[in-house]
Every structure is written in structure tokens, then in C-alpha cells.
Amino acid sequence: MKLIKYIFVLGIVSVGLSSCEDWLDEDPKYSVDNTVVFDSQETAKQALDACYGYLTTQDCFGQGVYEMSVGGSGLSWSQTNGGEPDRYASLNATPAGDAVLWAWRGLYKAIQECNTFIVNMNKGSLSAELKENYTAQASFIRGLCYYYLAMMWGDVPLRTEPSAHDGISEPKSPFTDVVEQIFTDWKYAYDYLPEDGTHTDGYIDKMGVAAYLAKLNWILSCNPDLAEHKSDYLNDAKYWCDIVYGKYSLQPRYADLFVNHVQDSPESIFQLNFTTSSDYSWNRLNWIFAADNASQGTAYQRIRSSKAFHDLFRGTYPGDPRYDATFLTRWYDVKKGSSYHLVSDSVYTYPYKSYKSKSTSRVADAVAYIPYDQVADATNPTVEELTTLQEQFYTLNTATGEKKVIDLVGQFATSVGDHAGWPLWKKQIDFNCQAQQSNNNIILYRYADFLLLMADVYNELNETGKAIGLVNEVLSRARTSVTPAAAQPADFPGNLTKDELRDKIFYERLFELAAEPEMYIDIRRGGTKTLKMALEIVNRHAITYEHSEGEKQKQNPDQRFRDRYFGADATFCGKVTDENFLKKNLHLPIPHSELSSNDGMSAADQNYGY
């Protein structure tokens, strides 16, 4: 199949530009007569490509939306330096934050473009079939943007007509009204996309829309505020799930989902494609997730995994092949070229620490690590266990007999003034990145996600045995991602109860889909209950508590490299006890710029707690 890269054709589908930012501030319109644009299939397709292309800008999934979804999820870490990443990683995002604004603005820019496209496409003279096809695709994109807006912000302005700068006044619409618009757009897309449409990477097809309708009904069934309609949502979700099931398949090797130029993956339901040849279609995720010496590009290691989630994953499934595709914990310094030394030029992060072992004849490099197989609970090593186990890692001066223990507690449970205490999120690291631009494509929705949500639907409908089988399809692929097949993750046993399976699916989705585009949404889908479940992964982690609230940390309150302890007092209870904190963090703040420029909204319309 042909891989589509969204490259904006400036002379046809956009206004004259002086810079990327100026362009993004313009209302979507066309530089030639609309009749000309929409009377030609070629130029109409270029206009449709621009609708898709808005999803790939830096404001949207090229950085802003993805950054807020993963960075603000509650399971990521960033420097505690008072900057914006510190605030959203601390679940204290501010309305003035750049990334919050980028995400909001990027989604609404794509909506504006789709609104204009839909109106003008239907005024043109092209065939009814082509009009329906192209309008269906633009409707899907608009619905997708409102899906992210509704799930991340709640009540938001609902704009379905082209707008100009002097007519942007629009009050917030209730969440349920926004959801109804998503249903309208996606049902139209499903009805009017051709039955025989073939899946082409970069464009949505009929089955892809059906999969999104399954997801929307499922996520609404999880929403405690809509509990009276739960049964209806579940049955509708099952209807769409049954249509989609078997129409896709799992990528045989899990790690191959996150490589350069993923195309024709059997697992891709919908993906976005990027190119470094465009000044507007930017994938800056390597810049956000990689360390500067981990790839050829320029990177900032702005967002990392928390130690707590890393240990939950590694301790739950030791040897899981997904681990090495999810976390980067050691790598060669690529900027040193081929003259590296195996250990001394390698970079190590949690749960590893490199050191020099002294002898009378030479200096040999060695690596200390957390011995997970020697602790009582591999998902949660304690400070006391680290203190004991670090005795096995030491330097020895053979001339004097002096033995110096490597301080694992000091490295991982107190501030050491660097990034080494946290692993990198690996999935969006592009080892061939140039400068800040990556060529990596992003799968927004994949079949494993679908299978896990389908399992949740069947479980809630009391078909727990069927649900276990669906989960086990995902677990089996994980094990067979390597040769010989791994022992973990083991299949779920067939005797799980409905309640047990519900909780296990929640955590399994975290493991399978960690650091992917809907991390923020997934964690909050069940309201404060599921958000609490995720944050208590952090709060019950002993090393995290010590690093955040321990006595040594209290003596250095301004350290830039600390962990976070969420929504509880300073005692180590492992719980999130502040219900207001949880309620606030169900949604992101509405950007100040929206409240100040939109006459239909005021400061009173800001989301709860901000």
C-alpha cells in the first residue's frame, strides 16, 4: 500500500505565509476561488490532506496533545524545577502553560479546517460519491478532535461552522452535547465511507470508524457520571466490537510497532504520518522523550517514566518482551561515534548505576542494579532492602584492601542532581532523528487497544470467559515477540471473577499502551476511581516516597531532581486521600488565551480547581 505523508500544498490549500505560526493563526480558507478548488478532485484531495495534516502539527499530535497526554498522565516524571513540565507532571498544570495551549489550539485548528472543508466540499460540482467520501473523512477528523477535547477538558466550545476572528464567541457546551457531536460525525463517516474501501495508512476507512465508535461507547460506559446509561453504552460498544473483531491482526513483534516508517502494520487502525521535508508537519516527540546522547537528534529528556510505574511493570512481568520496547534504561552515547568503550561510554539510568572497580593493575567498569529477584515484592523494592542488597556492589582497592559500597539508596532514593534516577520512555525515541524532527509515524489507535477494550465490554456484560480469551490474545503476542518465546506475560487464568478481571484489564492496558497517545484519557476513564488506582501506583512505591518525602529530601527542598507524592499528607500511607485533588485532575485547565479572547466564556467557566 502507498504510505501517505501529509505535505501541505501552500499555493492551493492555504493562504500566503510569512511563518508557520502566522499560518496557524489564520482561519482555514483557500487562496484561490473555492469553486476551483472543490471542482477538481486533485485540489479537493489536497484540501482533505490539509485537514489530516493539521493533526500532525507541533500544536497537535506532533507535540502538544501527545506531550500533555503522557506528561500529565500521573505516571511520568519531569524535572522538579518549577517549569511547565514540572507543573503538568506534578498534576498541577496551569491555564497559562504553553503545552496546554498548543494542544487546545492544535485540536481547534484542525476542527476549523474541517468545518470549512465540509461546507465548501458540498458546494462544489464533484460527484455525490466523492463528496460523501471526502466529507465523511473530514467529519471523522472533526469528531476525533472533539473526542480528545471532551475527554481531556470536559465541557468545551462546540464549533461546527466556519468561523472568522471577529466571530469566535462561543460558550462551553456540556460534555454530553460534545459527545453527541462526535457520534454524529463518526456515524456519518461510517455510513458514507465506501464498503469496499481498502485500508491505506494515513486515511481512515469504514472499519477504522467502527473501531472508534466501539471505543467511544466503551469509554462512556466507564464514566460514573453516565452510569444510568451504562447498559446502553455497553451494548452499543459490543455491537461495534463484533463488527470490527477479526478485521485487523496483531503485529507479530511488539517492538516493530514503534520503528521508523511503520506502514501497512496489520495492527494499525489509524495512524498519523510525518515527514521531515515539511516545515509544518512536525514530529518533535524524540525531542521530548529522548536524552541528548541517546539519538542523533537534539533532545531534552523532558518527560520520563516514573520509577514506580517502571517497577510495577518489571516486577509484574519479569522478562516481558514489551519491557525493552517501553523503557530505555541503558544505551551507548551515539555522539561519541565508533570509539566507545562498552561500559564507560554507555549511559545508565534507573534501575542501573555504573561505577569503576579499582584494582592495583587497572580500572574496570562495572554496573550496579536493583536485584529485583532478591526483594520480597519485585514491584516495590524498599529502602531497607536496597540498603542490604547494595553491599554486593563495591569497589575494591586490592593494594589496601579498602572496600567501598556502591550507594544504591543514594542513587535512587535521594536526590543525586541528575537525570539518572528515571528511565526514558522509549516508544517515540527515533534513533535516526535529525535535529528536532523525527520521521516516526504515530499509531493513534491499534488493534491491541481494541482487543483490551472489547474484553472490558464483554466482562461488564457478564461474558467473563470470552473477555479472558480476548486479553490472552494480546498477552500471547507479547510473549511470542521474541524467539524463543518468553514466559511472561502469562495468560490470565480462566477462573477470574468479573471484578478481578476488571482490575487486571485496567493495569494490563497501562502495560500494553504505556506512553501512547491516550494515556491521560485511559487513566481517567472511570473518573476519580481509576485516576486513584493509577496514582496509588506512585504513592505506594517505597523508593518514590523516600525520594519525595524522606528526611534527606526535606533538607534540600529546592532540588531539581525529586519524585512526587500525590494528593496525600506526608505520611507513607500509599493512598491518595485528597478527593479535591482527584476531582481537579480529571481534566486539564482551559487556556487563559481562550477565556480572554472568547466573549462567550469568562473566568467562571474555568474547569474545577484551576
Residue 279: what pLDDT? 65
Q: Which of 20-24, 182-186, 260-264, 495-499 has the weakest average pLDDT?
A: 20-24
Residue 554: what pLDDT? 73
Tell me which residue of 508, 509, 530 sits closest to 518, measured CA to CA.
509
> Is residue 607 pLDDT above 50, yes or no?
yes
Helices (H) and strands (E) in the chain, counts: 25, 14
What is the per-residue DSSP string for 70-102?
HHTSSSEE---SSSHHHHHHTT---TT-HHHHH
Residue 426: what pLDDT? 97
Give 233-280 pLDDT, tens digit per residue: 999 999 999 999 999 999 999 999 998 755 678 999 999 988 766 666
H-helix or E-strand spanning residue 174: none
Give 46-71 pLDDT, tens digit per residue: 999 999 999 999 999 999 999 999 99
Give 161-179 pLDDT, tens digit per residue: 987 654 478 999 999 999 9
> Is residue 99 pLDDT above 90, yes or no?
yes
> Is residue 561 pLDDT above 50, yes or no?
yes
Residue 10: what pLDDT? 35
Cα separation, 474 vs 472, whole angstroms:
5
- What percent of the chain shows pLDDT beyond 90? 71
pLDDT bin (cut points 50, 70, 90) of residue 1 is very low
- Average pLDDT in the 35-43 region? 84
The average confidence (pLDDT) of the chain is: 89
pLDDT bin (cut points 50, 70, 90) of residue 361 is very low
> Is residue 19 pLDDT above 50, yes or no?
no
This prediction has a pTM of 0.93
Q: List the beta strands (DSSP E) in 232-359.
A: 268-272, 304-305, 327-328, 330-332, 346-348, 352-358
pLDDT bin (cut points 50, 70, 90) of residue 27 is very low
> Is residue 226 pLDDT above 90, yes or no?
yes
Do 591 and 95 touch, CB atoms closer than 8 A? Answer: yes
> Is residue 12 pLDDT above 50, yes or no?
no
Residue 294: what pLDDT? 87
- Phi/psi for 30 (5° steps) reads -130, 145
- Average pLDDT in the 334-341 region? 63
